[in-house]
Amino acid sequence: MEKVSKYTKQAEIMNMPYWVFAEDTRPIGIIALGKEPVQLLAPIGTPLAMMYLVDTSQPEDKIRTFVKEALDLASKSNTAYASVVLPSAEEKVIFVFESMDFQEIDDAYVMTCNLAEKEFEMKEELLFQQIQRQEMLEFIELAKMFLQASPDVTLTIALGHLHGLPEEFLDFYYAMEKFYLVKKNGEIIGIVNYNPKTGQISNIGVDKGQRGKGYGRKIMLFTLSQLKESGCQRARLRVHVKNKPALRLYKSLGFVEVGRYKTLIFYFSDSIKKDHERVLKTEK
């Protein structure tokens, strides 16, 4: 049941009801139902489904049966889209999903950095100002500016759905992570937020006019030093495979690729499909 619990815990944290599909006592997959904001791939309030394939070694016919039954359940709940994240190495499994009308929308690496083996020297050139809860909306607006021009399609889509976030979502987000404005001579030139318990670096952004000056590296050094002080053994982040500047930066800081994952979407809503296709076309 350990394989199942890592997915069901995520659904429980987000208050999403879920169903486990199994044969005898062997779990095959899970589907959880909810509403945005969860993945921010559609407007706030949009019904969605998140699917998890617990055992990728299952025979193709069993995977197809799970997908069909899970999509039927999602359809009855008037879901606008269903998503699944799969290891890119599982080409046969990805083919099964794509043959059932899922479309790839994201291709990203998961990278980690061993903090115990490193020391991070900080210079006082930049000021890092931790924000208060009432400043969350200002932080989000700055994030929308500083995270633009990325090849990351899911990030671009999410940035377009940040307006009108519910207060309870902001409360939850603020309780989970630390958020910083980065200043240079009194001017805000970047942002960063991370989870001090898990070591996950969620976002790092630099003003477009300030890029190429080494500020991204300085922000990362600050973040890694903070995570180490918090007791984290490893830092973790996600980066799109086409984001070459970010990949070079992270590798220079000691990050290594530990996995590559693709996000696939099944669209029940034509309008959301067209919105995503527009972004995909722009990013190519």
**Is there a contact between 207 and 183 (Cβ–Cβ < 8 Å)?**
no
CB under 8 A, 24+ apart: contacts of 242-246? 242/107, 242/151, 242/152, 243/150, 243/151, 243/152, 246/216
What is the fold, at CATH topology level, of the domain defined by 2-101? Aminopeptidase (3.40.630)
Q: Could you tell me which of 194, 196, 7 has the C-alpha nearest to residue 205? A: 194
Centre a 10 Å sphere on the Cβ of residue 42 and count the other Cβ atoms it contains.
24
Q: How big is the chain by its Cα radius of gyration, in Å? A: 20
Q: How large a percentage of the chain has pLDDT more than 90?
A: 79
Residue 123 has pLDDT above 80, yes or no: no
Give how far Cα 238 sits from Cα of 8, 72, 167, Å. Answer: 21, 31, 26
What is the fold, at CATH topology level, of the domain defined by 113-260? Aminopeptidase (3.40.630)
Mean pLDDT of the chain: 93
Rounded to whole angstroms, the Cα distance separating 46 from 80 reads 7
pLDDT value at residue 282? 72
Rounded to whole angstroms, the Cα distance separating 32 from 13 reads 12
Burial 93-117 (b: 16+ CB within 10 A, else e): bbebbeeeebebbbbbbebbbebee
Residue 284 has pLDDT above 70, yes or no: no
Residue range 272-283: mean pLDDT, rounded: 86
Residue 119 has pLDDT above 90, yes or no: no
Pick from 2-11, 78-87, 102-111: least confident: 2-11
Rounded to whole angstroms, the Cα distance separating 149 from 230 reads 32
184 CB burial (10 A radius; 0-12, 13-18, 19+): middle
Q: How large a percentage of the chain has pLDDT more than 70?
A: 99
Looking at per-residue pLDDT, the higher value among 2 and 9 belongs to 9
Residue 283 has pLDDT above 70, yes or no: no
The stretches of 80-238 forming alpha helices (DSSP H) are 91-99, 136-146, 153-159, 167-176, 215-229
Q: Which two tokens stand for residue 150?
A: 């990325």
Rounded to whole angstroms, the Cα distance separating 135 from 131 reads 6
16-26: pLDDT as tens digits: 999 999 988 88
Residue 1 has pLDDT above 80, yes or no: no
Do 113-260 and 2-101 have the same topology in CATH? yes
232-273: pLDDT as tens digits: 999 999 999 999 999 999 999 999 999 999 999 999 999 999
Pick from 8-12, 196-200, 202-206: least confident: 8-12
Cα 169–12–202 angle (5° rounding)? 50
Burial 142-173 (b: 16+ CB within 10 A, else e): bbeebbeebbbbbbbbbbebeeebeeeebeeb
* Strand, helix or coil for residue 155: helix
Domain ranges in the chain are 2-101, 113-260
Residue 209 has pLDDT above 80, yes or no: yes
Residue 171 has pLDDT above 90, yes or no: yes
**Is there a contact between 45 and 166 (Cβ–Cβ < 8 Å)?**
no
